[in-house]
Structure 1
Amino acid sequence: MRLFRSVAATTVAVSALLLAGSQAYAAEAAPGTAPAARPAAAPGADFTGIAALSNCSASLVRYAESLSTDPALVLTNGHCYEGGMPSPGQVIVNRSSSRNITLLKPSSSNAGTVRANRVLYSTMTKTDVTLYRINESYASIKSRLNVTPLTLAKQAPANGAGMAVVSGYWKRIYTCSVQATIPELREGGWVFKSSIKYQQPGCETIGGTSGSPIVSTTTGEVIGVNNTGNEDGERCTLNNPCEVDANGNITVDQGAAYGQQTWWFYTCLTASRTLDLNKTGCLLQKP
């Protein structure tokens, strides 16, 4: 997992690599319209829509169909959930929360804080996601903090697609491309499906980058969420995920880094932009 564990070993190296981005622009949406999303002119170049947690990274996100009056959403990893890592097979749905989340300006400085009031969905089975509902709308956040959301992509990324992992915790941007989609990734007792493997060099993610959005450098949309990497070359252990192909063959790739699919949210989305895990075709893990 790319959960933050120790500042001392990485602070000096990372601080030298902090990136400041270009200024963002977005007109405030009128009530009842789609909230302005991060512009695609220079995707991955700044920290618009990026968030920081106490131990992870995150992002302010919207569905393609979201309205400016909808309660805002924040995306991070399941293993960044404030109640601790969900057990294998566990799915947390519609649980109250009061978590503070720091949103960033395009330059990476702090824009201000929002508060989650509900965990809509959290799991580490099949994918590794936590989706928070915020206690104010996109329009309110835009008015109060001048922060606009990122849009979740509706499809999986293609191999070779350009991408950026944008960490709000470290205020650092990693750029590379999608190397492959791994049928199954095993880590400890957890199993992730259709994991996104990063082409190296460029995306050597570290602790604290957990929950960072994987942003398409073509569309500016969120194509996944960063979550883990093989640190020591061990086989299928915590912090050392192993790859399993369609025939069940296991491969260990020390130094490899991975993210998880997020487009599956759309397969469970209702007309009112809520999640229904019993919807026909829903791909998210059910409780």
Structure 2
Amino acid sequence: MKKPLIGALGTVLLAGTALVTATPASAVTVNLAGTVALSNCSGSLIRMPNSVDTDPGLILTNGHCLETGMPAAGQVITDKASTRSFTLLSSTGGSLGTVRANRVLYSTMTDTDVTLYRLSTTYASIKSRYGISPLTMSTTHPVAGSAIKVPSGYWKTIYSCNVDGFAYQLKEGGWTFKDSVRYTSGCNIIGGTSGSPVVDVNSGQVVAVNNTMNEDGQTCTLNNPCEVDQNGAVTIHPNIGYAQETYTIPNCFAAGNVLDLTRAGCVLPRP
């Protein structure tokens, strides 16, 4: 698990979410527009499929990028005040300005590795001031072999590769993630890319959030995740990165970008 560049445990799970407006498959261009840079990670401005322009904006990043420290295994944080700021980027990585959160809606490192912030400004206000639209969250499971890009707002860099496959369980230190995306070797992510969105090249939608890599060839240790299959067999893939799927997250949001963990189809861990 790559930790933030400035963090108590050293290297943090990669964070950096890029923002791309969904367009027809033949015209999708994945760039840095709408990605954000955090103090130690990456992230992106995102919307749910049912979000509207007057809703408050949402920022997606990793759980391990939370400003108060990495959540413990089994810990789920919801509805906490936050004043965290994010540098909003243009398509070429230029700084457009700062957007600020007013709540941590959700954060965990249990089963997944995600933090969702609610902004104090609406999508319409962001579009009017900065000309930036949010990336849309996909509601379908990512597909093995599909082309993906990982735009990092922290490094202003875009990584390109494919979905190699999926890990039934991914264990790293004391944390366990489920049904994780495994990259092919092209996405050679580094610290600071944590929280970057994983964008499907065909749809232009976010299918996962970038979070870790096996750095040293160790087994199940911090920064060296291992895969565990349904029979308990353990394997490692040195220098290969991973991301956590996000397709179930929209099921947890009601109208107005309101988090509701009791909604049908919402499988995010509850406090």
- What is the TM-score normalised by the length of structure 1? 0.86
RMSD of aligned Cα (Å): 1.5
Partner of 1:232: 216
Runs of 5+ consecutive residues of structure 2 not aligned to the other structure: 7-18
Q: Please give the alpha-carbon distance, in whole angstroms, between the structure 2 residues aligned to 1:192 and 1:95.
A: 23
CA distance in 1, matches of 2:87, 2:208: 20
Distance (Å, rounded) in 1 between the aligned partners of 2:97 and 2:23 = 21
Give the CA deviation at 1:144.
1.1
1:43 touches 1:215 (CA, 8 Å); kept in 2? no
1:74-223 correspondence to structure 2 within 5 Å: 74-200=59-185, 202-223=186-207
* Structure 1 residue 252 corresponds to structure 2 residue 236: yes
What is the CA-CA distance between 1:271 and the residue it aligns to?
4.3
Q: From 233, 247, 264, give the equivalent of 1:263.
A: 247
Q: Is the 8 A contact 1:165 1:213 kept in 2?
A: yes
Aligned twin of 1:51: 36
Gaps of 5+ in 1: 7-23, 25-35
Which structure is higher in RCO with an 8 Å CA cutoff and minimum separation 6? Answer: 2
Choose the corresponding residue for 2:49, options 64, 67, 79: 64
**8 A Cα contact 2:170 2:180, kept in partner:** yes
1:94 deviates by 0.5
> Any idea what the Cα deviations from partners look like across 1:125-154, whole Å, max 9, x if unmatched?
001000000001000001111111100001
Aligned to 1:243: 227
| 1:187 maps to amino acid | E
Do the aligned partners of 2:170 and 2:228 also contact (CA within 8 Å) in 1?
Answer: yes
Alpha-carbon offset, residue 81 of structure 1: 0.4
Q: Report the TM-score, using the length of structure 2 for normalisation.
A: 0.91
The offset of 1:177, in angstroms, is 0.5
Number of positions where the alignment pairs a residue of Structure 1 with one of Structure 2: 257
Distance (Å, rounded) in 1 between the aligned partners of 2:76 and 2:60: 16
Verify the 8 A CA contact 1:43 1:216 in the aligned structure 2: no
d(CA) in 2 for partners of 1:280, 1:101: 32
Q: Deviations over 1:167-192 (max 9, x none)?
A: 00000000010000111000010000
Percent of matched pairs sharing the same residue: 52
Give the whole-Å Cα distance in 1 for the aligned partners of 2:248 and 2:202. 20
Aligned to 2:3: 3
Q: State the structure with more CA Rg.
A: 1
Deviations 1:38-94 (A, max 9, x none): 4352332x1112111000000000011110000000000000000000000000000
Partner residue, 1:277: 261
